[in-house]
A = this chain, B = another copy of it.
Amino acid sequence: MEPAGLRADARHNRDRILGAAREAYAARGLDVPMGAIARRAGVGVATLYRRFPSRESLITEVFGDELATCAAVVDEALADPDPWHGFCAAIEKVCAMQVADRGFTDAFLTAFPEAIDYERTRARAERGFAEVIRRAKAAGRLRADFAMADLTLLLKANCGVTDGAGQAAAAGSRRLVAYLLQSFRAEHAEPLPPPPRLTLAHLHAPTPR
């Protein structure tokens, strides 16, 4: 992740590029031209491409840690003595992350199902969250018919609210999450249509064809 065999100037530029990319992606989402990032970092386009052979590899690198943070959130939820509180907190945190960093959402939601690292981290997060769900149900707080797919649903829904709402995104996301968490409570359970066949992996692929 941090190639050691680089010359001092090269490493310096690499850092500047990553910084510029992080800022740009957070502010404007993923569709920022490579040239813009290079300019922002004060380097030439070639330098950028030498360090990150493709647009994809840059994005993967940039959002690697944030994805890790995301997985950490699941671990926190597992550590919480109150399963329901852990469940809610985890959801709220991830959604807040989606709001804070516009690129983050796109980054691992709409791009690159192929990135190996992502796949592994996501699988881990998914297993962990399944356990969070199990516990919350066992505690009698989470409705029994809650499915893993509902998490995907919530994330995608939050994604829609976040996307381009600017100022109102934060408030909107908070309120949406509050509404949904209320329906997730066991005591509110009423029949629902069947859950969609969605895994976290299905968060990808914004364009079906």
Contact = CB atoms under 8 A, between A and B. Distances in A.
A160 B156 CA distance: 5
A165 B153 CA distance: 10
A127 interface: no
A172 B193 CA distance: 9
A45 to B, nearest CB: 23
Q: Is the interface of A mostly helix, strand, loop or mixed?
A: helix
A153 B161 contact: yes
Q: How large is the interface on A (under 10, 10 to 19, 20 to 34, 35 or more residues)?
A: 35 or more
Contact of A179 (B160, B183, B205, B209): B183
Contact of A168 (B159, B188, B197): B197
A107 to B, nearest CB: 15
A3 interface: no
Contacts of A167: 197
A182 interface: yes
A184 B162 CA distance: 21
Interface of A: 27-29, 110, 149-150, 153, 156-172, 174-176, 178-180, 182-184, 188, 190, 192-198, 202, 205-209
